[in-house]
Amino acid sequence: MNAGATSQLLDFVVERLEVGVFAVDREMRVVLWNRFMALHSGRRAEEVVGRNLFDRFPELPVKWLEKKLRNVFLLKNYAFTSWEQRPYLSISTTTAQ
Amino acid sequence: MGQAGASIARVLDAFVHLSIPRVLVLKSDELPAVLVRTVGSGKVSAVRQGFHGQLRGEAIVVYGEARCNDLSDLMGYDQWADDASDTELLRDVGNLFVGACLRGIAEQLRVDIAFSAPSLMAGRVTAGAGELLCSGTVPWSNALLVEVNFRLEQRSFACHLIMLIPENEIKVIASGLERFLDAIR
């Protein structure tokens, strides 16, 4: 498979995966928002990408989440949380298993 | 370890004191007694986190009675006061210490590692009563144990970081160290 086709496949997998995938840059601007995130947050990628995550979703616990995200940039390490404890953005998942 | 201390200090914005690492090789049945000698016999809470890839093992962060409560504002948890947040703060701080230390070790040994999600291993148990870890629960017979304790200046926080590396992984460290020494010779 050539590089172009591999990249297309990766885009497809990230987009269609039944898991929320999003990415932010150091300024907390959203750079990636997949289909799962769009369906579960009720916000399409066009409405979110390029915007500051916390401006777009003011209901988020800013201090906690921003600290967690900044630590990832600072330490180049993983950070973890579990949706059972923090079900933000999972507006329509309460009945899903 | 010094680099790990510096990273943690940047995240917590506080000066971090760390002990000289204690290293020993032990048999699995000696582990419960070694843990009690290391962390004391009082009430403790502990978080465990596995690491895998080219170097495998398990890291345990043990907190004393005060747990991480003194860090809740630094980690952004002061907006909540519930049990779920209390537990997640323990896991978050555990992940910070484990990640900072093992990332540094993996970089120096030039091995690629990944981490499992941290989980609560013990919540306010009595270490001296053998409640922290029972013998016979670990899947190896001999392991390398590395222990460092951390203390924050001007805060009451302190914890022990214990890394356990099974004996068949010790060769990864040996070859990594050889590469490291070759590079600086």
pLDDT at A89 over 90: no
Per the document, the length of chain A is: 97
Q: Which residue has better confidence, A63 or A83?
A: A63
pLDDT at A90 over 60: no
Q: ipTM strictly over 0.90?
A: no
Chain A contact for B181 (CB, 8 A cutoff): no
Reading chain B (185 residues) residue by residue, the pLDDT tens digits are 888 888 899 888 888 999 999 999 999 888 888 999 999 888 999 999 999 999 999 999 999 988 888 888 888 888 777 777 888 999 999 999 999 999 988 988 889 999 999 999 988 888 888 788 765 567 788 999 999 999 998 888 999 999 999 988 888 888 888 888 888 87
Measure CB to CB from residue A78 to each of B7, B10, B115 and give the nearest one. Answer: B115
- Phi/psi class of residue B150: alpha, beta or left (left: φ > 0; alpha: ψ in -120 to 50)? beta
Rounded average pLDDT over A26-52: 95
The pLDDT score that the predictor gives to residue A96 is 33
Walk me through the domains of chain B, giving residue ranges and CATH numbers: 2-184 (3.40.1550.10)
Kindly state the tokens that stand for A17. Answer: 């995966």
Write out pLDDT tens, residues A27-38: 999 999 999 999
Write out pLDDT tens, residues A12-22: 999 999 999 99
Please judge whether B76 and A81 are an interchain contact, meaning their C-beta atoms are less than 8 angstroms apart. no
Q: What kind and span of H or E run contains B162?
A: strand B158-166
Q: What is the pTM of this model?
A: 0.87
- Phi/psi class of residue A42: alpha, beta or left (left: φ > 0; alpha: ψ in -120 to 50)? left
Measure CB to CB from residue B118 to each of A66, A74, A80 and give the nearest one. Answer: A80
CB A16 within 8 A of CB A5: no
Nearest one of B170, B48, B54, B50 to B119, comparing CA atoms? B48
The pLDDT score that the predictor gives to residue A94 is 37
A74 CB-near residues (< 8 Å, 6+ apart): B7, B10, B11
Q: Which residue has better confidence, B125 or A82?
A: B125
Per the document, the length of chain B is: 185
Q: Which of A67, A74, A77 to mutate to test the interface with B (most CBs of B within 10 A)?
A: A77
Nearest one of B47, B24, B64, B33 to B164, comparing CA atoms? B24
Question: Three-class SS of residue B181?
Answer: helix
